[in-house]
């Protein structure tokens, strides 16, 4: 990625709920001799599904926790996505660089002014005259200018043509743009688990960032990720789901997706966009990638774009 980087929320941004979980130890007979100390208790781990859109550092008002929802999770370890992908697929860095070179000119940084400060996301160019595909949560809450920055540094102001918050898709239009490099859209129905992919976006505002990994799983229902009977969304301001919370079937990938990647491209080795990065799963103590990210399949995104344009 539902994903976006931290999205600013209300001034009293939602904080992750702390939950206590029971510990269990198996009783085993103790052999004769000195008493053995019981094994150390495992520490609680609380994880979060975090939207992949970044808020600028030192956000005034301090609502940086608004996009985190507490989830029970096991231990997670960071991963070197590029190395892991190479080991699994046997591909070389040349394949990654070639795919990235095809798509980098078609991925933009999206800067949004909200009531809480500046938020950062990413987007994918759909047409030479400046039609841009991004996540709905990237531009939600915009109260001022929305701008995009091309890979070469050129900036444009944009208008929001429409958004579907349930599908987490929005379409932007750059004002006065022409001659932009449109991305080639692939077919997400042909994806296979283990296939190598590349993620491109602006994590933490670092534009033109490329990471690589594999498709870890397909058809992940983000609406099913939660704790107990309450389903949690990375976009809710509270832990309970609301009717317009994003809910879609996602591509899971271990390509590093961090805050600011939301709306950026997930690409196959042919340089075709096969997903729109939208969310990441991360321990609540860290907003960084631990190798579990989610992207909206491009076939689903194309359907929503057509509905927005013809709606």
Q: So which residues are the catalytic ones?
A: 137, 168, 262
In three-state secondary structure terms, 8 is coil
DSSP string, 151-197: TTS-EEEEEEEEEETTTTEEEEEETT--S--PPPB--GGG--TT-EE
**Nearest C-alpha neighbor of 259 from the set 74, 11, 57:** 57
Task: Pull the structure tokens for residue 132.
Answer: 């841009």
Helix/strand/coil for 148? strand
Answer for the pair 120, 111: CB distance below 8 angstroms, yes or no: yes
CA distance 42 to 69: 22
CB 106 within 8 A of CB 124: yes
DSSP codes of every residue in 190-233: G--TT-EEEEEE-GGG-TTEEEEEEEEEEEEEGGG-EETTEE--
Strand pairing of 230-231 and 226-227? antiparallel
Residues comprising the chain, all counted? 311
Cβ atoms within 10 Å of 85's Cβ, excluding its own: 27
Angle, in degrees to the nearest 10, between helices 81-89 and 93-103 = 120
DSSP helix/strand/coil, 310: helix
Say how far apart CA 10 and CA 175 lie, in whole Å: 29
């Amino acid at each position: 990625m539902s994903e976006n980087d931290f999205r600013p929320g209300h001034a009293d941004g939602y904080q992750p709920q702390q939950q206590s979980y029971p510990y269990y130890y198996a009783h085993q007979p103790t052999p004769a001799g000195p008493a053995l100390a019981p094994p150390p208790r495992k520490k609680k781990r609380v994880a979060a599904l975090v939207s992949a859109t970044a808020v600028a550092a030192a956000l005034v008002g301090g609502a940086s926790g608004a996009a985190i929802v507490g989830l029970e999770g096991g231990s997670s370890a960071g991963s070197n996505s590029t190395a892991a992908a190479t080991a699994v697929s046997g591909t070389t860095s040349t394949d990654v660089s070639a795919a990235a070179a095809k798509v980098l000119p078609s991925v933009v940084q999206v800067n949004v002014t909200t009531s809480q400060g500046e938020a950062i996301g990413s987007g994918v160019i759909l047409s030479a005259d400046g039609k841009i595909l991004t996540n709905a949560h990237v531009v939600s809450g915009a109260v001022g200018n929305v701008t995009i920055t091309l890979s070469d540094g050129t900036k444009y102001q944009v208008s929001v043509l429409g958004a579907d918050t349930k599908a987490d898709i929005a379409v932007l239009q750059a004002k006065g743009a022409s001659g932009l490099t449109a991305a080639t859209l692939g077919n997400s129905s042909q994806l296979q688990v283990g296939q190598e992919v590349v993620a491109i976006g602006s994590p933490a505002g670092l534009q033109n960032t490329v990471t690589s990994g594999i498709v870890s799983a397909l058809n992940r229902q983000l609406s099913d990720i939660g704790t107990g009977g309450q389903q949690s969304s990375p976009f809710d301001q509270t832990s309970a789901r609301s009717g317009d919370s994003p809910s879609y079937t996602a591509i899971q990938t271990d390509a590093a997706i961090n805050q600011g990647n939301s709306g950026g491209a997930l690409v196959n080795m042919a340089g075709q966009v096969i997903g729109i990065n939208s969310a990441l799963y991360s321990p609540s103590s860290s907003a960084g990638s631990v190798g579990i990210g989610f992207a909206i399949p491009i076939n689903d995104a194309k359907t929503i774009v057509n509905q927005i344009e013809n709606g």
